[in-house]
Amino acid sequence: MIARMRVWILLGWLMVSSGAWAAEADLAGLWKNTTAGISQSAIIVSQEGAFLHVAGYGVWADGGPGVWHGKGKIEGARVKLPLTYTKLPKPGFDPKVELDLQISNDAKSLEGTWKNSLGRKGPVKFIKVPAESAPKVSSSAEVPAGEGPEGEEEKKETSTP
């Protein structure tokens, strides 16, 4: 009995220390950047297992809008995310930035540092934006076309007389 308990404790410790729980974290969705000096800043995260794809937008103080994208990976309880800016928010802005973010225990915040190839770095924090309720519609005409099986209305429209 004690030997089994030791095995379970060891397995639990290995999973936590290897960050296996973090790879299971659901990071997909909308994240707000809370960094001072950047407004309207958010990223959209698409997740496939431990692999992440992101697209982002923000408006810099003393600058303008910036747009970026990147592909990263969950490594343990951290996210490593290289980004490429496709629209620079100000002249001289380095288009290559890397984020190194710690995943919170509840997977609702990502906090860490950004750094660029010019040697500059700073803090960054993202907060997950909760999903809104499904919209209410008053008629079936307002429901967007689905990507799944056809509904009865679609079958009637596509059937031949």
**Do the beta carbons of residue 126 and residue 31 sit within 8 Å?**
yes
Residues 99-158: tens digit of each pLDDT: 999 999 999 999 999 999 999 999 999 999 998 888 888 887 777 777 666 666 655 555
**What's the distance, CA 39 to chain centroid?**
18
Asked if residue 11 has pLDDT above 90, the reply is no
Residues 143-158: tens digit of each pLDDT: 777 766 666 665 555 5
- Return mean pLDDT, the chain: 83
What pLDDT was estimated at residue 112? 97
Work out the angle at residue 50's Cα, subtended by the Cα atoms of residues 29 and 94, and round it to the nearest 5 degrees.
70
Which CATH number does 21-128 carry?
2.40.128.120
Instruction: With cut-offs at 50, 70 and 90, classify the pLDDT of residue 19.
Output: very low
Domain boundaries, given as residue ranges, for the chain: 21-128
